[in-house]
Structure 1
Amino acid sequence: MTWLHQHLAVLPVLLPALTAMALLLLGDHGGDQHGGHGHHKLLWARRIALASTALGLVLALALALRAAEGELITYRLGDWPAPFGIILLVDRLGALMLVLAACVALPVLGYASGGWDAHGRYFHALFQFQLMGLNGAFVTGDLFNLFVFFEVLLIASYVLMVHGQGAARFRFGMQYVVLNLAASALFLIGLALIYAKAGTLNLADLALRVPAVAAPDAAVLQVAAVLLLVVFGFKAALMPLAMWLPSTYAATSPPVAALFAIMTKVGVYAIVRVHGVVFGDSGGATALTVEPILLPLALATSVVAVLGALAAKTLARLVAWLTVVSVGTVLAGIGLYGPAAWGAAFYYMINSTLVIAALFLLAELVAAQRGDADGQLQPAAPVTQPTLLGLMMLLAAASAAGLPPLPGFIGKLMLLEAASSHAWAPLVWTVMLVVGFCTLLGLARAGSILFWHVRDDLPASASAGGSPKLVLATCSLLAASVLLSVAAAPVQSYCQAAALQLTDRAAYAGAVLAEPGAGLGSAGVLPQTTRPYRGGAR
């Protein structure tokens, strides 16, 4: 137990990496399931992947419990002191994102194991590499390794995007790859500019050094900050950089699209870390560089996306647009700048990610029971399980639109309260309320077409209904959303504490930049050092 406690911070990255390597050695012949040997390997790949992902959830919860006490958990690889060596850092926000990623990944992987993983080869290894990139991005302590983990998750997502093949997936997959490569190039340019003027890429070190950079060098850092906003805004689907997402997410397989619901939150997370903290209100000459544009762009994102959702002709595309709507709402909270608004944004982000992932899976369950109409929003034969799927759709729609007492309502209420003293409060209130109403309208329209406006002249679908495994995976995501409402008080408290912790730059500097107090352990890796967070903003 001592060893586990000592190395806990690095395990969310190592576990999926080692699992992916093991699956590659196993030889996952998902695309050749007709052969008995290949099918046997696929069954073992499913078991290993599910066990590893479940263990990852346990590790994430263990880190969240430690972080809840205010502990800043640092892990120095190779005994190299920061800011020169690679350092991992787990705070409240990082632990929260690890838990959220695992809560999405486990049911989605269970859903994919119902048959989607057999549509192509090495699905489970790619899924684990995707988790490695996601978890690494949430625990890295410097910008360069954030870039590295971005590339890991993106490379895996390139292949997952076209998994199962198909002309539409290849067409939108190629667009997805090209745009992400361009964003990665901008990322490197931004990092080069920051390193040239600040001399470091360590996030804790940058939070101390950036405020000391005076004009005219500060202008270079401001350019870098804007470039990074473009990069992170593209990853998060911030307007006008979000137009690629609806077609891409709607074209890929449902479990992959559901997993991608957490991928946009990596961009949101990076914006908080870089533009909220490093270039935040204590950034000296570069303070609040993107503050004048972040809130307007976030509100515009929600408005444009909800219009896209109202105009969507398929359920999958409607859900893809709702992904962008949720990003706009979360980034509006980030753009308000302040612990109260950030805590509200974190809470809302948890629920929106779970509900969007569930909706992508639900869209496939419904489409599979509508015959040739598939997911088209047009009258068709009645579905085989109208009561079950209809209730699931109702619950997801109510939470996505922000109806009480579900967590979507609680999160939006927190955001509105945080915005009440802001200069843009009337516009923020108007946009959020109107967008919520239009979201409900769009989902109500879709539900009425799918479940009520059926054609009696068409034969009922021959489908026997969704597999219990697929239904259970989808329901577990919706149940997690309901649980978020039941446990609203402690989760809200955790989110607010996470936001407040981000403002204590001195605590981060003390935990990350302090000289290691011990030599190499027997494994050749320095044990993690921890510094308790005492609370309070600097």
Structure 2
Amino acid sequence: MTHWIIAPILIPALAGLLLLLEVRERQQLRRVTGLLSCVALIPVALVLWQQAAQGDVGVYQLGNWQAPFGIVLVLDQLSAMMLLLTAVLALPALLYGCAGDDRRGPNFHSLFQFQLMGINGAFLTGDLFNLFVFFEVLLIASYGLALHGRGTERVKAGLHYVVLNLAGSALFLIALGLIYGTTGTLNMADFAVKAQALEGSDQILLTVAVLLLWVVFGLKAALFPLYFWLPAAYANATAPVAALFAIMTKVGIYAILRMQALAFSDGPLAGLGADLLWWLALVTLALAAIGALAAQRLGGLVAYLVVMSVGTLVAALSLGDPKVVGPALYYLIHSTLICAALFLLCDLLRRSRGDSDDRLESGPPLAHGNWLGAAFFAAAVAVVGLPPLSGFVGKVALLQAVPSAPYWVLLLLAGLAGLVGLSRAGSTLFWRVHGDVVSKKLGRRRVIPMLALLLASPLLTVAAEPLLQLCGGVAEQLADQTIYIRAVLGGAS
């Protein structure tokens, strides 16, 4: 395996360190450094996807220590896809931040890069302990980003977010201790092999450890009853931070999918916790729909749409059916990019409403109401799953793949709730107006990144068939755990 595999971790790590050394007053230099890092991640992610698309699993041994004793990075189609999605999301989010939001805190750019380092590392690591390490890297960076810009509500929501995730980190360490104590390894591939041979008390302890992992990953993914931190944290974060955070819940979903496919697809632990995940995801979906209907701010409404996508995905993936994984991955890509676009659009609307902010109440007429209304309409159609955009394609594919009446009913009702919530928001923002227009330029540096993310929906629609086939190929490789295990434990490099 070439050294390219470590580049998605090294590039933002080096950029983050460089940004800490650069003079804070030289804002343009800091912006250029951050943007160059994000731009560089896109071709690197494309190269890695091209390598992974050939069907082989690449293993990079740090220090040339072979698994399971050494630290390994593992590149398969799933991790390559998630790296590419992160790179595509990061650039417009940072471009939007460079329009002025980055001035609201001295370390925005370095924290942004360390966040990318943690996210990319979580997608690449082949070791549970290093998954914990990269979780901590991205969480520590996210703590600073969540508080970026200060403000009472932001600090309050940020503190709740910090406390809950610190508790989750403690549970993660306990789970890792139980796993190492019973199997003698934390390498994912080696764990998948050794977990099948456990019996008696060791198997009971491992079951406890796995259930703790589901709790931790459910917290990261914002699954009921651990999602309550998300709406306030995302709604009160600055727009570029909220847009980047759209990928954060997908890190938890990725961890669930990876461990489920690798270690719990067969053997005595097959399907462990799957029923629990199924019902928790359905409850998450239902409560997110209620939250979207009750939201008093547009940012809060979009945050509940993120939670809704989590329930949709986890419920489908908990079935453990490879035929479901492909449509779920398509929907994951769609929901990540469109929710990020909505967070940026929400900020543009807020800036056009003066003191009314993003509250869903009567306010001044929007200076750029025509094109903002068109963008809001397109985003709403995409995110709730109406034809002809990508949300409709993703939901139809999921409904065809998941033969479950409760899932069908809740998914359709949640879409209706999202539609009602967004319709109410749109009528309030664009029609219930009074007073004078708040004259405030939005600027191309904010508009272009939002439109770039919003454009993803029609592009995903046009390329729906090949993308669904591609996602199906990712699912097929993921379903064959022997490919991953042989590549890692066979000493591939």
Shorter-chain TM range is over 0.9
**Which one-letter code corresponds to 2:122 in the other structure?**
A
CA–CA distance in 2 between the matches of 1:448 and 1:278? 49
CA contact 2:189–2:262 (8 Å) conserved in 1: no
The answer to whether the aligner puts 1:390 opposite 2:373 as a matched pair is yes
Question: Which residue is equivalent to 1:265?
Answer: 250
The Cα of 1:97 is off from its aligned counterpart by: 0.5
The Cα of 1:277 is off from its aligned counterpart by: 2.6
CA–CA distance in 1 between the matches of 2:35 and 2:438? 32
**Which one-letter code corresponds to 1:433 in the other structure?**
L
Q: Give TM-score, length-normalised by structure 1.
A: 0.90
Show the 5 A alignment for 1:391-406: 391-406=374-389
**Which one-letter code corresponds to 1:21 in the other structure?**
L
Give 1:191's match in structure 2, choosing from 171, 176, 191.
176
CA–CA distance in 2 between the matches of 1:79 and 1:92? 23
Show the 5 A alignment for 1:293-312: 293-312=276-295
Q: Deviations over 1:410-429 (max 9, x none)?
A: 11111111112xxxx11111
CA RMSD of aligned residues (A): 1.1
Q: Give TM-score, length-normalised by structure 2.
A: 0.98
Question: Which residue is equivalent to 1:24?
Answer: 20
The answer to whether the aligner puts 1:469 opposite 2:445 as a matched pair is yes
Question: Which residue is equivalent to 2:354?
Answer: 371
- Sequence identity of aligned pairs in percent? 49
CA–CA distance in 2 between the matches of 1:277 and 1:77? 22
Runs of 4+ in 1 over 6 A off after TM superposition: none
CA contact 2:5–2:75 (8 Å) conserved in 1: yes
CA contact 1:214–1:285 (8 Å) conserved in 2: no
Question: Which residue is equivalent to 1:519?
Answer: none
Q: Secondary structure at the match of 1:81?
A: coil
Give 1:79's match in structure 2, choosing from 64, 68, 93.
64
The answer to whether the aligner puts 1:287 opposite 2:241 as a matched pair is no
The answer to whether the aligner puts 1:428 opposite 2:385 as a matched pair is no
The answer to whether the aligner puts 1:245 opposite 2:222 as a matched pair is no
The answer to whether the aligner puts 1:177 opposite 2:153 as a matched pair is no
The answer to whether the aligner puts 1:441 opposite 2:420 as a matched pair is yes
CA–CA distance in 2 between the matches of 1:195 and 1:275? 18
**Which one-letter code corresponds to 2:450 in the other structure?**
T
CA–CA distance in 2 between the matches of 1:407 and 1:204? 35
5+ residue gaps, structure 2, are: none
CA contact 2:239–2:343 (8 Å) conserved in 1: yes
The Cα of 1:481 is off from its aligned counterpart by: 2.3
Q: Secondary structure at the match of 1:383?
A: coil
Give 1:15's match in structure 2, choosing from 11, 14, 28.
11
Q: Secondary structure at the match of 2:268?
A: helix
**Which one-letter code corresponds to 1:330 in the other structure?**
L
The Cα of 1:177 is off from its aligned counterpart by: 1.1
CA–CA distance in 2 between the matches of 1:515 and 1:190? 27
CA–CA distance in 2 between the matches of 1:340 and 1:407? 19
CA–CA distance in 1 between the matches of 2:462 and 2:426? 26
5+ residue gaps, structure 1, are: 30-37, 517-528, 530-538
The answer to whether the aligner puts 1:479 opposite 2:462 as a matched pair is no
**Which one-letter code corresponds to 1:477 in the other structure?**
L
CA–CA distance in 2 between the matches of 1:405 and 1:142? 41
CA–CA distance in 2 between the matches of 1:211 and 1:496? 27
The Cα of 1:216 is off from its aligned counterpart by: 3.1
Question: Which residue is equivalent to 1:520?
Answer: none
Q: Secondary structure at the match of 2:456?
A: helix
The Cα of 1:205 is off from its aligned counterpart by: 1.3
**Which one-letter code corresponds to 2:451 in the other structure?**
C
The Cα of 1:165 is off from its aligned counterpart by: 1.2
**Which one-letter code corresponds to 1:426 in the other structure?**
A
CA contact 1:93–1:498 (8 Å) conserved in 2: yes
CA contact 1:275–1:290 (8 Å) conserved in 2: no
